[in-house]
Amino acid sequence: MLGLTPLSWAAKGGHEEVVMILLGRDDVDPSAADGHGRTPLFIAACEGHEGVVKILLGWNDITFSTAAADSKMPLFRAALAGNEGVTEMQLERKKVNPNTPDEYGRTSLFIAARKGHNGVVKMLLERNDVNPNIAHQYGQTPLFAAAEEGHELIVKMLLERMDVSPNTADDYGKTPLFIATREGHEGVVKRLLSREDANPNTANKYGETPLAAAARNGREGVVRVLLERKDVNPNTAQHGQTPLLKAALMGHKGVIKMLLGRMDLNPNTADEYGRTPLYIAARNGREEVVKVLLERNDVDPNATDRCGETQLMETLLEKVHVNPNVVDWLGQTPLFLAAGQGHERVVEMLLARNDVDPNTPNKFGQTPLFKAAHEGHDEVVKMLLRRSDVNPNNPDACGKTPLFAAVLEGHVGVVKILLERADVNSNMRSR
């Protein structure tokens, strides 16, 4: 290590007797710093050697370190390590300012709160000159640090001081409550909400509330705690995304059940693209979530996004009040889309319903049979042809029939299936 004297080495190793021998010499400077400005006292404090610290503190004119070389003073180092003995000794010295921050703006209280050193935090808070609200360079206070790490006892100690606000936000608008909900620290959330001045709805700078953050991350315990409060709004949206929509997007079934238990929740609120929680869940194949959502009678299974698209799957088709013929902006029905994508199970379920029209064309005149033939889905073509009301010769807007589409794409299997039908016209011409 750069420039360490024998005294510094002895202090680093915690060798009290050696330290005493060296200090007994007139030519030994007890404050001689190394190349980084760290004195023997600084080094002993950092290493947590209480005996050496006591010995060095007994010398007159002892120096901690050169401030220009190292802003992390011995008190900060002791707080970081959770060394209560060294912390106490440092606090007893009149020259020590407990609020001195390091180069990142972190005070000794902040670092002890983040690390969960209960004894050090208690010691610091007993001092009248300790400011518990000094924030680091990104605006995070000691309370924020403790809340983020889930240190419930430290949060309790800080909240017992009325000069500590539970609502102080960092530079990104995150409050201690927001960060505790996001991380799922249920005990800390309860502690914070026990303060009457805590605002449970304060959103971060991007508009996300504590409830939305908890829902997005699947924090069931925290969601339950928040929903027990009548002043928590379950419908607050960020770019149209409610806590319910976020939970549906991530597939958090337990959270969704809790949210749906609030009768003031609107389950059909859409985001800025017109997508509802049900639409999002169905689109992402979250069948269990879809089932949970449909347990609420006020969930609209026919809701479409801004392009007019709806998301139908087996679970939705089991609901009698679903309209299976709803079309999107291109005139495509659910049967058309399922046939085009080769979803045989969905096609089968749709065709089993008497209210499904298998001949409904899109805006280009293409029927579900045309689409299945064009894409080469043999089994889907067979399913459609089993319906007696399917017309195998319906042409599109250009006069092309399903047979023409299959021939054009070279789908041999589909061509054979179609030609097995006596009513298929193999001589129809396109326009």
Tokens found for residue 428: 């129809």
List pLDDT tens digits, range 5-24. 888 898 889 898 888 888 88
Instruction: Tell me the per-residue pLDDT of 41-65, one tens digit each, with 9 for 90 and over.
Output: 888 887 888 888 888 877 766 665 5
In a domain, 65, yes or no: no
Q: Is there a domain that residue 364 lies in?
A: yes
- Distance in Å from the first CA to the final CA of the chain: 88
Q: What is the mean pLDDT of residues 284-296?
A: 80
Rounded mean pLDDT of 102-116? Answer: 94
Greater confidence, 219 or 335?
219
In a domain, 221, yes or no: no
226, 373, 378, 416 from 412: Cα distances, Å: 60, 10, 9, 6
Region for residue 3 given its phi and psi (left: phi exceeds 0; alpha: psi -120 to 50; beta: otherwise):
left
pLDDT score of 253 = 95
225 lies in some domain: no
Domain assignment present for 374:
yes
pLDDT of residue 67: 44
Q: Give me the pLDDT at residue 68, please.
A: 39
Decide if pLDDT at 304 tops 90: no
Contact call for residues 132 and 142 (beta carbons, < 8 A): yes
Q: In this predicted model, what pLDDT tens digit does every residue of 359-370 receive, in sequence order?
A: 999 999 999 999
Does this model's pTM top 0.75?
no
**CATH code: domain of residue 396:** 1.25.40.20
Please give the share of the chain, as a percent, with pLDDT higher than 90.
Answer: 54
Q: Is residue 391 part of a domain?
A: yes
pLDDT higher than 70, residue 413: yes
Mean pLDDT score, 221-250: 94
C-alpha 303/C-alpha 293 separation (Å) is 13
The burial class, CB within 10 Å (0-12 / 13-18 / 19+), for 100 is: middle
CA distances from 80 to 13, 56, 121, 265 (A): 19, 21, 11, 45
Determine, yes or no, domain membership for 198: no
**pLDDT confidence band for 69 (50 / 70 / 90):** very low
Answer yes or no: is pLDDT of 66 > 50. no
71: pLDDT strictly greater than 50: no
The pLDDT of residue 61 is: 60
* pLDDT higher than 80, residue 307: no
Residue 340's domain comprises 324-431
Total number of domains in the chain: 1
State the average pLDDT for the chain: 87
Structural tokens at position 121: 């935090």
CB count within 10 Å of CB 187 equals: 16
Question: Residue 112 domain-assigned?
Answer: no
318 confidence band (pLDDT: 50, 70, 90) = low
pLDDT in the model for residue 411: 96
SS3 annotation, the chain: CCCCCHHHHHHHHCCHHHHHHHHCCCCCCCCCCCCCCECHHHHHHHHCCHHHHHHHHCCCCCCCECCCCCCCCHHHHHHHHCCHHHHHHHHHCCCCCCCCCCCCCCCHHHHHHHHCCHHHHHHHHCCCCCCCCCCCCCCCCHHHHHHHHCCHHHHHHHHCCCCCCCCCCCCCCCCHHHHHHHHCCHHHHHHHHCCCCCCCCCCCCCCCCHHHHHHHCCCHHHHHHHHCCCCCCCCCCECCECHHHHHHHHCCHHHHHHHHCCCCCCCCCCCCCCCCHHHHHHHCCCHHHHHHHHCCCCCCCCCCCCCCCCCCCHHHHCCCCCCCCCCCCCCCCHHHHHHHHCCHHHHHHHHCCCCCCCCCCCCCCCCHHHHHHHHCCHHHHHHHHHCCCCCCCCCCCCCCCHHHHHHHHCCHHHHHHHHCCCCCCCCCCCC
Q: Of residues 44 and 419, which shows the higher confidence score?
A: 419
Q: Would you say the C-alpha torsion 236, 239, 243, 245 has a positive or negative sign? A: positive
